[in-house]
Structure 1
Amino acid sequence: MDPMTETLEEVESICPDCLKEGKVAKIDAQILEENGKIWIKKECQEHGEFKSIYFGDPVLYGRWMKYKVQGDGVENAEIEGGWLEDLPKLYPKHNSQTVLSNLMVTNRCNLRCSYCFMNAGAAGYVYEPSLEELEKMMRQVREERPVPNKAIQITGGEPTVRDDLIEIVELAEEMGFTHIQVNTNGIKLAEDADYCRKLREAGVNTIYMSFDGMSKDANPWIEQNKKAVENLREAELGVVLVPVPIKGSNLHELGDIIRYAADNVDIVRGVNFQPIAFCGRPENVPEENRTKRRVDYALLMEALEEDLGGQIKKEDFYPVPFVHPISKLMENLKGEKQVEFTPNPGCGGATYAFVQEGELVPITRFIDVEGLMDLIRKQSEKSGMFKKARIATSLAKNIMDYVDLDKAPEDLDIKDLIVNALLRGDYGSLGKFHLKSLFIGSMWFQDPWNLNLERLKNCVIHYTTPDGIVPFCAYNGLGIGGKIRERYSMPIEEWEEKTGKKLKEDLWKGGPIS
């Protein structure tokens, strides 16, 4: 081994070429530090060596990985039994609960995005479960124990092409989901302001909208996106912007997206970057294409830092499991299991920023978040008589030790916010925080070239499907979703004959189709 190469971790992965041949072959892999970057390297006896970027910055990797935590999984693991034949070969049991479930209601879409592999036109079939089938899928995540899933994303394809989307939302609310978001390209929301209102009244909490740039080159539907934001403001329905960063395409516009979000912080709740992942058809993704287009966390954050003049830095981002002590504290106070944020740190990270006189001020600039989280962790471990009173006293006494009031937003009562949220379970008080701040996050999904099974078995975002509950990166990165969709689909011609519709009629008539 090269003297400049250090093996940081022995893991397991899969062979991309075996996957092309229809096989899921588990192989050994290593997480390496080499030439100032972190790589995942693996070798298949049949197809040779594969090497892919994992983290572009060893310091960021080391800082995030120290927050690894083991989840408890679910008690009724039999509901996971429908993962086809592939996943049991890779690992026997999932380690995490479902924090957010994805419900794919159709693979039809009104656009044809260049990086999309899922739409019906590309697949050659239509996948569109009935209301009764969707109810069964929702029920299986609501029946997870010890913690029923309460947050669901209705996704596609493009969910708004379904005439009964409002009914689907109402059904989700009736079944007890307290957070319902719709993943959409925003075209219909731009065309119909009243539809936005109907979605909110039906129970939608958040719109999760594709938003790949501020120019028409990067985002051909930018004007429709902006109009959708206006209509959502009128409907009082919050939106999270979801760009797909692609090297050579839109990296230079990521800062402008943040600026736009900050200018509309009254209705834009956040920006969640999802760097391009090469899922779908492995045989159609040559190595040169992957290398030219890949964006890892470090590259993304460096682009943001440069474009925003240092207002947001890599050091401001923390991985998802960083907040795990909050779940444990709530368990201690309430005496019952709470949803656990226990993905691998590589699954994603975030920060919050406040807009002050046109500038972005990350929460890390006025709160010692590591010190505060350590305080919360210590309180979560307290036991014995009067523990709630002792925890309350300790938090009230010590919270402000971690806050720099000179740098904090003037109209934000941080002490009151934390006490209400943590001790009284008053999440309404968090609404004040969200209305004044901007969530900035990133989730880099795995594909066959960079897949780490340790990450996969700790995934907390799961698809609920006719064949059971499937982790996100298995559904997309291993092609399991495609198998399920095809199994429960019908050929386009048959669907058109049955419905009296033409698939091409879904396509948006108002502008370019990329």
Structure 2
Amino acid sequence: MPNRPYIFYELTNSICSKCLRKTEAKVIFENDQVFLVKHCRHHGREKVLISTDIEYYKKCREFLKRAEMPYRWNTSIQYGCPYDCGLCPDHEQHSCLALVEVTDQCNLQCPICYAESSPKKQKWRPLEEIEKMFDAIVKNEREPDIVQISGGEPTIHPQFFEILEMAKSKPIKHIMVNTNGIKIAQDKKFAEKLARYMPGFEIYLQFDSFEKEALIDLRGVDLRAVREKAIEHLNEYNISTTLVVTLKKGVNDQEVGKIIKYGLSQQAVRGVTFQPVQIAGRTKNFNPATDRLTLSEVRSMIIEQSEVFQADDIIPVPCHPDCLAMGYALKLNGEVKPLTGMIDPHILLEGDQNTIVFEQDEQLKHKVFELFSLNHSPGSSAMSLKDLLCCLPKVAIPENISYNNVFRVIIMQFLDAYNFDVRSVKKSCVHIVHHDGRIIPFDTYNLFYRDSLENRLKEIQTEMAMTAHE
């Protein structure tokens, strides 16, 4: 009997990359890689690489835990995922991180931009509307873990610090500002003023490359001097900072290890987040067939290029294991000790705090317990280790070890029309707040719910409604 050249692993639903209609999809293993194979009756067959590591792909299926729900739902189930966002009762994860976009104007016009921001856009959200967006998150989460103020470029909003004050007045545990760093680099007093919002505050700093050519490819301009000055100011005031790297194959992926090493050497930097390009918004000079990167490829780059993190140190994040991977380390006495590989993964899934396994170094074990306050009381501001590894940085500041000692690497892959998996998107925990109060997964927002994209969504919904009545 003839055999197929692949192994059929599982069945899911996806969408056609051209018309965005829902399609059935097979996940197959072929030539030591994982592919999504789908067929649209209007546009034919698509085969998309979704992982270069079959064993890691399977491992993600082991990192499953009970879903954490928001305290309320924002929409009803009518057309099915991904056409009912959100959050609808069929979604499987609350907002670990919620973005509030305060403007669509930017002081750059990057060739790669999921929001298609530019200096030409002139939309500034008024404070009243922004407060309603904050309040929508609070109603869903009560005490939101992380809220990211984003744009466009949020630091150029004329009422930026009023927005920060407003965010600080809400019961939000951790506030981030997503920025290209130009304002911080140009205005030292601006950076000094940012420092007043510490702790519980962080800069999410665009930091793609050390190379001029790569920066021009991704950002349209050489930003090396801007990055250097911004980091100088952030270091001076020790403002918690995450370096955010948009990764494009063959452009800056060879710099993964160098950026991690650089981040470890900077006082203010608490970690690096790597984000493969999401094919949404403005993607100039980007070919999905040749330029896209999978999470597993980025993970391999971290392992191969980094002098710190090994394979056991970069693991799936349980709330959305297909699209999030992370590794934590401690910076102690001039040394960097990877932490994640020392922890039994069952602690993440079963909540058994006694299953932490440290292969060696009792002193480190004591410090880790102290840092993450495993035996904290319910009223304590300290977060447990389980909490920390479940989502994104929410580290407390005990006596002698602080957030300054924590360094993390995150891979954050957003689904697009090519690698879209309905099973996976239901677990999305990074969400964008719509101005009308809906809380929408980042993945679907940039495909269906941003500005004029909702016109195509309404066409699909109308088509589905007509089909249902036939």
TM-score interval, normalised by the smaller of the two chains: 0.7 to 0.9
Give 1:59's aligned residue.
Answer: 55
Do structure 1's residue 370 and structure 2's residue 339 form an aligned pair? no
Secondary structure of the 2:407 match is: strand
Residue 484 of structure 1 deviates from its aligned partner by 7.5
- 2:138 maps to 1:142: yes
Matches of 1:474 and 1:260, distance apart in 2 = 33
Q: State the aligned residue count.
A: 431
**Equivalent position SS for 2:184:** helix
Corresponding position of 2:91: 94
> Cα deviation per residue 1:245-294 (whole Å; 9 max; x = unaligned)?
11110111111101101111x31000010011111269x788xx112211
Query: Counterparts of 1:96 and 1:200 in 2: how far apart (Å)?
Result: 32
Contact kept in structure 1, 2:118 and 2:152, CA below 8 Å: no
2:404 equivalent to 1:435: yes
The amino acid across from 1:474 in the alignment is: T
Alignment of 1:149-168 (within 5 A): 149-168=144-163
Are 2:76 and 2:84, in contact at CA under 8 Å, matched by a contact in 1?
A: no
Please list, as runs of the form range in 1=range in 2, the aligned pairs for 1:399-414 lying within 5 A after superposition: 402-406=357-361, 409=364, 413-414=367-368
Q: Deviations over 1:193-245 (max 9, x none)?
A: 21112223246600001111122222321221121111112223110000011
Secondary structure of the residue that 1:4 maps to in structure 2?
coil
Partner of residue 234 from structure 1, selected from 233, 236, 246: 236
- Cα 1:419–1:240, aligned 2, differ >3 Å: closer, same or farther? closer
Q: Pairwise mapping of residues 127-276 of structure 1 onto structure 2 (< 5 A)?
A: 127-144=123-140, 147-202=142-197, 205-219=201-215, 220-264=222-266, 266-276=267-277
Q: Which has the higher contact order (CA 8 A, sep 6+)?
A: 1
> Structure 2 counterpart of 1:318, which letter?
I
Distance 1:44 1:438, change over 3 A: same
AA partner of residue 475 (structure 1): Y
Residue range with higher mean Cα deviation, 50-59 or 298-307: 298-307
Q: Contact conserved, 1:210 with 1:242, CA < 8 A, in 2? A: yes
Cα deviations by residue, 1:481-511 (Å, 9 ceiling, x for unpaired): 233899xxxxxxxxxxxxxxxxxxxxxxxxx
Change (3 A) 1:16 1:168: same
1:161 and 1:222 map into 2 onto residues whose CA distance is 20
Higher normalized helix content (fraction of residues): 1
Give 2:442's aligned amino acid. F
Q: Match for residue 104 of structure 2?
A: 107
Distance 1:118 1:75, change over 3 A: closer
The alpha-carbon deviation at position 49 of structure 1 amounts to 0.8
CA contact (8 A) 2:309 2:327 kept: no
Q: Contact 1:83–1:469 at 8 Å: present in 2 too?
A: no
> Structure 2 counterpart of 1:95, which letter?
E
Distance 1:82 1:430, change over 3 A: farther
Distance 2:80 2:24 in 1: 22
What amino acid is aligned across from residue 13 of structure 2 in structure 1? E
1:136 is paired with a residue whose SS is helix
Secondary structure in 1 matching 2:74: helix
CA deviation after TM superposition for structure 1 residue 430, in Å: 6.0
- Counterparts of 1:163 and 1:129 in 2: how far apart (Å)? 10
User: Aligned Cα RMSD in Å?
Assistant: 3.2
What code does the residue aligned with 2:425 have? L
Q: Contact 2:99/2:431 (CA < 8 Å) preserved in 1?
A: yes
What displacement does 1:419 show? 4.2
Cα offsets for 1:32-52 (capped at 9, x unmatched): 111101111111011101111
Alignment of 1:20-31 (within 5 A): 25-31=21-27
In the alignment, residue 133 of structure 2 is paired with which amino acid? M
Other-structure match for 1:277: 278
Gap change, CA 1:208 and 1:84, over 3 Å in 2: farther
Matched, 1:34 2:30: yes
- Mark the runs of 5 or more structure 2 residues left unpaired by the alignment: 216-221, 383-395, 456-470
CA distance in 1, matches of 2:3, 2:294: 24
**Pick aligned residue for 2:113 from 105, 113, 116:** 116
CA distance in 1: counterparts of 2:81 and 2:64, whole angstroms: 29
What amino acid is aligned across from residue 178 of structure 2 in structure 1?
N
Counterpart for residue 337 of structure 1: none
Provide the secondary structure at the position in 1 that maps to 2:451: helix
- 1:209–1:251: structure 2 CA closer, same or farther, 3 Å change rule? same
- Which whole-Å CA distance do the structure 2 matches of 1:275 and 1:227 have between them? 25
Aligned AA (2:256): L
Give me the whole-angstrom Cα distance separating, in 1, the residues matched to 2:295 and 2:85: 30
The C-alpha deviation readout for 1:115-139, integer Å capped at 9, x for no partner, is 12424449x7533211001111111
Q: Does 1:347 align with 2:302?
A: no
1:416 matches 2:376: no
Deviation of 1:420 (Å): 4.8
Identical pairs, percent: 28
Q: Distance in 2 between matches of 1:245 and 1:419?
A: 35
Deviates more, 1:423-432 or 1:295-304: 423-432
- Going from structure 1 to structure 2, the CA distance change for 1:32 and 1:85 (only over 3 Å counts) comes to closer
Cα displacement (A) at 1:433: 5.4
Determine if contact 2:346/2:352 at 8 Å carries over to the other structure: no
Q: 1:138 to 1:426 in 2, by over 3 A?
A: closer
Does the alignment pair 1:306 with 2:304?
Answer: yes
Task: Give the Cα–Cα distance (whole angstroms) in 2 for the partners of residues 408 and 459 of structure 1.
Answer: 37
Gaps of 5+ in 1: 20-24, 322-341, 380-394, 487-514
